[in-house]
Chains A and B, each alone.
Chain A
Amino acid sequence: MTGFLAALLFAVLFNTPTESKWTVTKGGTAAGSVTLLTGKNTVRAEYRATPKSPVVVFLGGADGKVWVRESGGDVELASFKGGPEKSFVPPLLFTDAKAKYTKDAKGAAQVDVNGYVLKRSSLATSNADASNFAIRPKKGAASRLARLSGDLLGPSNSKVSATAGGRGVGTKGLKLADGGDYEAVEAIENRDSAWAEKMSDALAEFQKDGKVGQGRER
């Protein structure tokens, strides 16, 4: 029993991965919430303005750069055209000279930056695996869609191999002897991998055309 408790104690103290929740306010008014995950040398922040808003994911790596997840891949903070979250979420990932940090026994408990106040509401150890922190830079927008009707599938993208593996997490090419059709699974992963480069633009145009998703909000 002692060993078990000791194990748990060490799990808390030395297993660095943590998950914390932060409330965001501006002038006393709620402005959203952030879930912050930390890995060994990496950090991920998920911001939501309201419970129904889409999540904006910020990623920080050991090189000190902040990336923001967009459809089709991650972009550096400077290229991110998002809302005000751009000004107050990054100081949660990396110390920022403009921000004021208030600490308690567990560490940073409040961050005041650019008129926003971020307060830690909970902190726990996390089981988030490394894939949560993986940064996948967006490829160049060399292939903007002329028209959506030009089709995601359209003429094959010569830059993407037809046999390119899925970009997802997990074990690429996993095939087990359970009788399933793994070739078909791979075909879907390869198809989506080939679409990935075009997906961001196509999705934006599709949503704008139908006034749904981000196309409705902007």
Chain B
Amino acid sequence: MRNLILTAALLLTTSSQAQLGDLWNKHKDKITKGAQVAQSATREFTEAEEADIGRVVAARILQTYPLSKNDKLQQYVTLVGNTVAGYSARPTLEWHFAVLETDVVNAFSCPGGFIFITTGALDQIDSEAELAAVLGHEIAHATQKHILKEVKRANTISAAQDLAATTSSGSFLTDALGEKISNLAYEKLFTTGLSRRDEQEADKIGVELANAAGYRASEFLGFLDALHELEGESEMKVLTATHPGAADRKTYVKPLVASDSGEVLAERWEAWTQPAEASARK
């Protein structure tokens, strides 16, 4: 029987444990609480906390735009999304990809792995590689924890709240705290947007992920061209308010994909996204 060694716990010596044991027993409660407070003030959210926050943000988005009832499209976006997410810094996150039914051109990322793209955005896409890069952008927001950073930055959750026992819902989130986070996320996703730096980072990582997954990430430039042409249209209001201009984005994305190669999969895109009746006529 092999022994569990928990290698990186890296085995304290018996003598050091003995020396500190008495002190530990004497002040156990105080020390534990002190360590928790010191740790909670600076620590990252746990994966479970991140998932709970993600549900709150996702619920707010889904209150704004309904889910598309096109199951084939939902499935396709899920397959492409999971393909790209497998190359992300957090491939084992519980990723959920979903299509929202609205003419508004946008995509959204929530903490914990909920990624949304609108049918309006899908209308501007011409290939699977483009979709992969757009989803890569949103995946990057999640892996880089951009919304979570905003939650922390806004001091939405204090160390004291963080340490609070779980509520009756079983989560650390209370109704009041959930509302605060929901409002903050709504403001960031629909009004002010994330920082330019975060958007630029998401663009950079997004094309890298698409390329790592085997897609021709330079197709993303086509999506940015489409956005550029649409700027000023009412369906673009949210996106233009919350993202850098498409021309600016092209300027810094172009060098990243200069020597790009990979699959475009325009035909597969068409096969999966064209309406069923059009498919039947072929």
The smallest C-beta distance from A113 to any residue of chain B, in angstroms, reads: 12
Q: Could you tell me if B59 and A169 are in contact, using CB atoms closer than 8 angstroms?
A: no
- Chain A stretch 87-116: residues in CB contact (< 8 A) with chain B: 92-96, 103, 106-108, 111
Which of A14, A54, A123, A166 interacts with B91 by CB under 8 Å?
Answer: A54
Binds B, one of A3-11, A23-31, A78-86: A3-11
- Whether B48 sits at the interface, judged by CB under 8 Å, is yes
Knowing A153-B72, A171-B169, the reply to whether A210 touches B128 (Cβ < 8 A) is: yes
Among B30, B78, B265: residue with most chain A CB under 10 A:
B78
With the chains together, A195 CA to B71 CA distance in Å?
Answer: 12
Q: Could you tell me if A171 and B265 are in contact, using CB atoms closer than 8 angstroms?
A: no
Q: Which chain B residues lie closer than 8 Å to A176 at the CB level?
A: 56, 59, 169, 173-175, 178-179, 182
Q: Could you tell me if B78 and A195 are in contact, using CB atoms closer than 8 angstroms?
A: yes
- Whether A57 sits at the interface, judged by CB under 8 Å, is yes
- Whether B39 sits at the interface, judged by CB under 8 Å, is yes
Q: Which chain B residues lie closer than 8 Å to A169 at the CB level?
A: 47-48, 51, 94
Q: Which chain A residues lie closer than 8 Å to B32 at the CB level?
A: 10
Knowing A43-B7, A64-B1, the reply to whether A131 touches B47 (Cβ < 8 A) is: yes
Interface size on A, residues (CB 8 A): 85
Interface string of B107-145 (1 = CB under 8 A from A): 000001110000000000000100010000000000000
Residue of A nearest to B132 (CB): A212
- Chain A stretch 132-179: residues in CB contact (< 8 A) with chain B: 132, 151-153, 166-172, 174-179
With the chains together, A43 CA to B12 CA distance in Å?
Answer: 17
The smallest C-beta distance from B48 to any residue of chain A, in angstroms, reads: 5
Knowing A7-B35, A54-B91, the reply to whether A132 touches B47 (Cβ < 8 A) is: yes
With the chains together, A111 CA to B10 CA distance in Å?
Answer: 13
Q: Which chain A residues lie closer than 8 Å to B51 at the CB level?
A: 168-171
- Whether A19 sits at the interface, judged by CB under 8 Å, is yes
Q: Which chain B residues lie closer than 8 Å to A195 at the CB level?
A: 78
With the chains together, A179 CA to B61 CA distance in Å?
Answer: 11
Which of A4, A15, A181 interacts with B59 by CB under 8 Å?
Answer: A181
Residue of A nearest to B44 (CB): A127
Q: Which chain B residues lie closer than 8 Å to A177 at the CB level?
A: 175, 178-179
- Whether B165 sits at the interface, judged by CB under 8 Å, is no
The smallest C-beta distance from B99 to any residue of chain A, in angstroms, reads: 10
- Whether B263 sits at the interface, judged by CB under 8 Å, is yes
Q: Could you tell me if B52 and A171 are in contact, using CB atoms closer than 8 angstroms?
A: yes
Interface string of B243-270 (1 = CB under 8 A from A): 0000000000000000000110100100
Q: Could you tell me if B169 and A213 are in contact, using CB atoms closer than 8 angstroms?
A: no
The smallest C-beta distance from B9 to any residue of chain A, in angstroms, reads: 5
Q: Could you tell me if B46 and A127 are in contact, using CB atoms closer than 8 angstroms?
A: yes
The smallest C-beta distance from B241 to any residue of chain A, in angstroms, reads: 21
- Chain B stretch 1-59: residues in CB contact (< 8 A) with chain A: 1-12, 16, 20, 23-24, 27, 30-32, 34-35, 37-39, 43-44, 46-52, 54-56, 58-59
Q: Could you tell me if B178 and A178 are in contact, using CB atoms closer than 8 angstroms?
A: yes
With the chains together, A54 CA to B94 CA distance in Å?
Answer: 16
Knowing A129-B46, A171-B48, the reply to whether A184 touches B34 (Cβ < 8 A) is: no
With the chains together, A10 CA to B37 CA distance in Å?
Answer: 13
- Can you name 15 A-B pairs with beta carbons within 8 Å? A20-B8, A38-B8, A41-B6, A71-B82, A108-B7, A129-B46, A131-B48, A170-B171, A172-B170, A176-B169, A176-B179, A210-B268, A212-B132, A212-B213, A213-B86
Q: Would you list the 10 A-B pairs with minimal beta carbon distance, nearest first?
A: A107-B10, A180-B59, A170-B51, A7-B34, A168-B94, A176-B178, A129-B46, A212-B214, A171-B171, A184-B62
Which residue numbers of A lie inside 8 Å of B, CB to CB?
Answer: 3-4, 6-8, 10-11, 13-16, 18-20, 36-38, 41, 43, 52, 54-55, 57, 60, 62, 64, 69, 71, 92-96, 103, 106-108, 111, 120, 123, 127-129, 131-132, 151-153, 166-172, 174-182, 184-185, 187-189, 191-192, 195, 199, 202-203, 206-207, 209-216
